[in-house]
Structure 1
Amino acid sequence: MKRFFVFTCLAIVLFQSCKEETVSPASGLIAYTPRNANVVIKINDYQAFKSELINNNFIKLLKNTPAYKNTFGLLNALKYITPKGTSLLTFTEIGKNEFNYTLICKNHNDLFSIDSTVNRKVEEIKYEGASIKILSIGEKQIFSTSVNNYFIGSSSRLLIENLIRNTGNLKADKNLEKLYQVAQNNIAANIFINHKESANLFQNVLSENLSNNMVEFNDWTSVDASIAQDYIKLNGIATSSDSIPNTLNLFKHKSPASSHAAEIVPLNASFFIAYPAVNPYNLRTVQPKDSLFKNIEEFVEIGLNQVKVAAVKNNDNIDFEDKLQQFVKQKSTYRDQTVWELNTDDLLVTHLTKIAKHIKAAHVAKVGDYYVFAQNSALLEDIISNFQNNATLAQVPTYTNLRSELADESSVLAIANLEKIKDSGSILNPDFITGIAKTSFKDYKYAAFQYISEGTFAHFHVLLKKANTSTVNSNLVTQLYSTTLDADIVSKPQFVLNHYTKKMEIVVQDNENNLYLIATNGKVLWKKKLDSKIRGNISQVDLYRNGRLQLAFTTATKFMVVDRNGEDVSPFPLSFNSTITQPLAVFDYSNNRDYRFLIVMGKQIKMYDRNAETVNGFTLKETNNTVINSPKHIRIGNKDYIVLQESDGKLDILHRTGDVRVRVKGNIDFSGNEIYLYNGKFTTTNTNGDLIQVDQQGRLNKIALDLKENHLIDATAHTLSTISENMLNIKENKATLDFGIYTQPKIFYIYDKIYVSVTDKQTHKVYLFDSNAKMIENFPVYGDAAVDLADMDNDKKLEMITVGDKSSVICYKIN
């Protein structure tokens, strides 16, 4: 499909920039790009761009192609570089089909992050008075130098030497520089493609003919990339020079127009390309006496059964049919439609050379508002039949939904059926076809490509999205996304509120102690290295009382508060010599954000205020025995209680000051479950499986529940849920599950409805029940950890997050 598969080429070129990094904003960066670079990628947000690429489901489908594998291998060494701010990644061809990268970014102390276990070697050589460092990691080498506080690293020593030789006369390609200056900065990355230098680059994905067409189409294309898990959007600008023949120049000085080609394109077509804004005089060779196509309004190329057919729309059909007769050999009818057989099959090639030079056509028929040209009558009959049966692209909701996200008017509009073009040698490189031979693109169905000419340039749009993202059936549990992290997950994913959008985002930690914030759409916003695993859940606080929320938590040795950008909030973190043994306890007694933070280190207790100052009014410094759970703040009526569980069975019920408020009459053989406020009493269980309740006078009551060893509970003010072996209890209701290893039941109260979730870690199944212990329809679903449940995007439908395959966070929508 002509000129359409640029997005695929870009996707592959882009993909392994997920193995690269980010940098600092500076217009000077562009001056250091190699002058003959094929592709320049401006990375504005490294973590977001990396997340977009590694989590895009379509790009994953290309993993067996040579282009994907070659890019992965080329950029593998760059995974150890972590630039800050804006960076540039360029690809330059040195020798036929030998592509090398160059990374340009601001120097900083933490630019390289290489684990001590990685085998590496660093050498330094001199070249024309400058220093070139050679970092060898395995078989890969990074050649680098520093110029004006910029780091320039490359897989090619030649590129670095060229840079050093030209240090005094560095200047970017003027066309590239113009595009660079107007590129959007509020997206993860911008891509700039030099068409005239990229024939071999395009041929890594596209056929030779289509690659040549790409080279001839225009000079430079600037693309703003927006990539989510289930769609790819590329928006940008294409430029062309008047001095060099370009296909794009065919549409200059002609306003874009609407195309209705989908009304005649049959469902079994592999693609169509519509030119609804052509200037008929620009499409012809020099034949002043030829007037057959002088009234053409639109030209359409259609891929059908591995053959190309064409359609034209005129503003004077009577004149067109009259002039057509001089080329007619004979005519027939099919389903009451006239079919003309022509005395030549070169009519289109001769008269519309610039856009139809490869289309043979010996037959023509009028279908709807178009005259369709085909190599044989059978193709025409197919198109006529489908049109009369309403089996055309315009009738397909998947297509109309995709089309609705594009501009109404175009200079060029292309739609491809990805499943049908994947084995087309006229579109794709043979090696690329081999790589995707066993890959199914049915979930994506169609992809769209659009040019909108405007004077000396054209707007450029590519859109590819999953077919099922626009229409979600009721009562279904659908996976919104699965976000893959850099290492296996060790914490339960947790929803946190974005105070700007009022939507939920996700925090989670991996086993390399990296904390991630994941956006509502599944993109990783940032990653922060911590000293150790976080203790328990993360709390959100508003330290400055201005509506802006921070994340508060403890690790093994630190009490940390970070803002929504992952930056430490002064005066935090606080560091401790002793090991923190319990999750951070956050108390806001009067809901006025005058927080109290309790840190537990074995027996030792420390309380801090929101300024990280010790609260002197809290007198309890140490318990007699180890505290076994995080302290709890419980309010009953207008009384506040701080509750601690000690390892010897003592339950401490304290004033805000830390003094004893209620003396409990007896010890409890704690089962390990926390203390909850349930039915107005302090509630937990003992090792015998009894429910233990303590009232405000310290009286202890025991209720036999016959819970087995290792049982787990959760409770709210009026709801108790327990799981014991395979029996789940919710209030007075029971559900019998398969035997397994279950997480703690978790109670959610959302939109006046109670939900209870448990996860069987043995079979990787997540269960969700209502208050009657009735399973929610279409559960269980796949998952490997306890879940969090919320209306993430404020659409009154719930989302649920859990761990997927060790290193991925899965988000489900419950419709």
Structure 2
Amino acid sequence: MKTKTLLVTLLILVVSAAVGYIYFFEKDGDTEIQKLIPANSLALITIDNVSNAIDEYSDFPWWDEAGSLPFVNALTEANTKIDSLVKAGVLQSKINENPVYVSFHLTSNNSIEPLFFIGSDGFEWLPTNIKKLANLWFNKELLFESRIFNEKLIYEAEVQQSKWGFISLGNYLVISTNSVLLEDVIRAEEDESNRLVKSEMKVDENQKGVNLLLNTDRIGRLKNVFTSSTEPSRHQLKGLINITVEPSNEGLTFNGISVTGQNLDQRLPSNAIVNVENFIPSSASFVRWFGVEEDQNASLNGFDIASFQKLQNSELCEVNIVLGANTMSQVLLSEVADVPEISKMLEDISKASRAEGDTLFTESFINNEIRFVNDAQFLGKAYGERYKKSGKPYYAFFNNVMLISDNIDALKTVLIDYDAENTWGRIPEKRRYLDNLVQEANITQLNNFEYYLDPLVNSFNPKWKAFFKDHIQLFSSFDNFNFQINEASNRLIVSAELTFNESVKGTVARNTNSDTEPVNREVGLNLVTNAYGNSKLITKPYIVKNHVNNEQEIAFQDELHQLYLVDRTGNILWKKQLEGKINGAIEQVDFYANRKLQYLIFTDSAVHLIDRNGDDVEGFPVPFNAELPVVQYSVVDYDNSKNYRYATTDRRGNVYLLSKEGEMLEGWAPKVIGSALRAAPEHVRIRGRDCFVVVETNGNVHLLNRRGEEYPGFPYNTDKRISGDYFIQQGPSFNESYIKILSEDGELLSLDFNGTVKGRNQMVKPSVSSRFIAVRDKLNTGLLTVRKDNNQFTVFDEKAQRKFDHDFKGQGDWVFEYYNFRNDSELYVAQNLATGDLVILDDQGKELFSKEAFSTNPVGILYYQNKREYELFVNFDNQMAIYTFTK
């Protein structure tokens, strides 16, 4: 996880920006205050008038969210209390209108703690008066003790389990909740070497607005504080940087320059132009641009690294993508001046590095060849220390862009999103954001918090993870953060921007139908849209994509077997009579490989392919001549070339593999498995080898190749009945890829793709009637366990740790669903499909919505982080409805 400069700067800037309207040095007191700020300060902010600052910042829509931070909240409460004491005549001076400086320090207990410097305005800070003020402040008599440090008197008192202390130095009262920090202030006053700002340094005294003095020499330690790591952190900033902050309704803008009088003596990458934006997936969590530095000393078994670097137009773009378990994988992108030449170089080292007896790895994907370099040192040697710990890389070329990554699935994600035009360069809103960046900078970083926040928080130690979880509402309101660094005349120029999403801007609910009265207010739902069929609806609402405008639409079927397509305003776009009910789901495919989507549907007797106008695609429907109708199916695209296969199963477990045109394929007509399956066959590709995972209810697990043949080690017999879903954790090899399943009696089993059991965990079964059900996240990120005990169910996490219990009543066909929407927005859904009872719970088991006899059809849920709003799609009676409810 690379928190480094971005994370450090973000945290400090957000805190400082939320505090208020500040500047660095008062003209009348700059010499004195400079002598008091310790050299180990992480950052220094100043507030010339706290009261005015709070008044000004409270007008912005994100202020309420920022106010949840303890430091900001305490400052706001202090301001209110001072005003109250002044009005009551207890205080004669409004000290909240005097200059205040705050210096932040890293302490040994993994904390970031402040020192407060409060300037006087024509009066002295007398210890007696300070003690009286403290007693008034805490509404109790504090027991003060004094101690001497370097001939200076420090006063201390135990307050709220902390050693609170103060010292009066000249015109400043210095306060800290960690009294030890006051010793650093005394050392700074006595010796310039202990000061943050040295006498030769020049800071602009006339700055106005919001400012922050950032000590970049100490920011590298923050990663260790947050993660408890002992590994040295690298960062590319040096010295003090003075940063001004400008607030707006959209967020915060930061502009800074290094303080003059410093010898920075550093080397930044050459200026890099932002020009590979069409390859940055919309789901990228972290993006970094920087110049490729030529290293004449790097060598790698005869590979010419210097020539390799020169062929890449001096620019590199690092894209980070979250792939399961909230871990990020990197893909490096660069424009190549001579594709044939650099391709030959890589092919040569691929041949030279392959293991003895191995064939040269090549995988076709979206009409491209993915190749492999069997050398774990390659990325570190070619691109520097940042990639020293990367693994063996895969690479591909698309036009004149080279993609290289030690994770083949991350590389494929970039290619898939490029092919689908789902990238930062192709989405207008995101493209405008990129266009506002400086097009040439030594370093550019961009964070997309929708995807970055979860892996960031999960990388922290328990203390800081709990802090972020407690304030997740604030951090989940972040949209994007960009950070750029330029070097000019031995000075660093820094610019950054933090934007908030719509959740803090008070926008109205999306696509609200003003002609429809809200309903179900008593249970927390608001009706947004509804549409009516000609008879009772018998399927769930299927959320589909309109390829023309990328808007969402909804498809469903009624008991007359009519298929409906409805837009989000409730307008019926068309309805079509089918000869039978829909089996399985409604999937969308790009049949003609032209980015136009069609609807794939199986009924008892036919395979249907319907275009977006409701017309049959030529050649469809195709009769489905099988002994039993299909109950489930999945769409397979081996290499993302749109040459689809349809993997189906009936209720006896017979598996049919159909061609794109709906014809049964040899060896799969059918593949007789033997008993009912837990799901349709699921396809994965490991190092170019296609695998179909097939799990029988009776406990047999199969791993089949494209010809329907078992891989070595399979079938594997668990000797137990399998319950609920299973989960495939795909890795770079068969040894590192797992099938996770759960038996009805609560045994969790992890099986690798060689048929070897890698883990067993027997869960506690309180009674004979207890039944366990595995529930896969709808976003396919993991597997939870639900235990049913009479009129209660218990939810366990992926490590089989209990999360919460919930009471439910009634027997019947209860189904459980889990939605992991990222950033602490999980939902748990329990529904009785016989009675229609429905309950929706949050991650703590708190009931967000429940209603008896609501719907006997499964529901669908979406979450919009930028609004902190859920949408519930439900079919009941002859009505399809979309409701909203808040987080």
TM-score for the superposition, normalised by structure 2? 0.45
TM-score for the superposition, normalised by structure 1? 0.48
Which has more radius of gyration? 1
